[in-house]
């Protein structure tokens, strides 16, 4: 039995997220359709993360166990032939049988795209958030540094989340570590990048929505720290639209190390 690790990228606009769902078109389901055509059977795949409806991925990994002897480069070519244009397999390699696409992840990076112009860009529909009012990107960057570190992010997850401050009851903890945060402007495009060991449901989109308050006379340095400490979802900002969110990096090496593929 071989364990294959695939690297993929996809535009999530027309999908109901990554995870397979009944009666809904998803990224994983579409990939499994292609696998079935190539392998002759519907093999299970395990993704490195779950992305929501409309969220995109520039780097995504999934593993699959198979007895098939197909070479890894041929597997890439064959799957791409059978996938729609908005999903691509970038690479494939054999990994150790105990390697896990999700549990071996050391950190992830998300990038959020904001088209900051009075006029919308029709070529970015579904691919970026349109925000027509001027943004103070320098203030956003400064305020965003307060996310860095280990915090309880219970105020920055969807109200429907089952995560709790501790995982002693078998649930998911709301404590996460953020390694870095950056905000930069490239013309009319504002990019927000956040890197961490994990993220709660809608966490990045709420972080973005909160930083949108970082305009004149609104969110000031120090206030994010208080919002984090309070843990009240009502104190944070809106949940920014899914269209602007991209999973841009998945690393199987520690944050201090070099980015790349699996350790073994």
What are the residue numbers of the active site?
Answer: 52
- Dist CA 119 CA 10 (whole Å): 27
What are the φ and ψ backbone dihedral angles of 44, each rounded to 5 degrees? -80, 145
Classify residue 112 by its DSSP letter: E
What are the φ and ψ backbone dihedral angles of 165, each rounded to 5 degrees? -55, -30
- Dist CA 38 CA 40 (whole Å): 6
CB of 178 within 8 A of CB of 194? yes
In 154-238, alpha helices (H):
203-211, 223-230
Query: How far, CA to CA in Å, does 121 sit from each of 126, 131, 202?
Result: 10, 11, 25
CB of 174 within 8 A of CB of 157? yes
């Amino acid at each position: 039995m071989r364990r294959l690790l695939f690297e993929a990228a996809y535009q999530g606009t027309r999908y109901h997220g990554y995870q397979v769902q009944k009666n809904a078109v998803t990224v994983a389901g579409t990939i499994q359709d292609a696998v079935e055509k190539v392998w002759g059977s519907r093999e299970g795949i395990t993704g490195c993360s779950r992305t929501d409806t409309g969220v995109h991925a520039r780097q995504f990994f999934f593993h699959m166990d198979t007895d098939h002897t197909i070479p890894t480069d041929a597997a890439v070519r064959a799957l791409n032939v059978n996938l729609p244009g908005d999903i691509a397999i970038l690479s494939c390699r054999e990994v150790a049988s105990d390697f896990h696409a999700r549990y071996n992840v050391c950190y992830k990076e998300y990038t959020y795209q904001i088209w900051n112009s009075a006029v919308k860009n029709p070529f970015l529909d579904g691919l970026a958030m349109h925000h027509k009012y001027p943004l103070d990107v320098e203030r956003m960057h400064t305020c965003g540094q307060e996310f860095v570190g280990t915090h309880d992010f219970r105020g920055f997850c969807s109200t429907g989340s089952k995560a709790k401050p501790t995982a002693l009851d078998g649930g998911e903890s709301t404590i996460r570590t953020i390694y870095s945060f950056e905000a930069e402007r490239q013309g009319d495009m504002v990019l927000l990048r956040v890197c961490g060991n994990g993220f709660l449901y809608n966490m990045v989109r709420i972080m973005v929505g909160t930083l949108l308050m970082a305009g004149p006379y609104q969110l000031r340095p120090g206030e994010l720290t208080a919002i984090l400490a309070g843990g009240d979802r009502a104190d944070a900002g809106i949940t920014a639209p899914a269209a602007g969110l991209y999973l841009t990096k998945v690393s199987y090496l520690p944050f201090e190390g070099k980015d790349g593929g699996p350790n073994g």
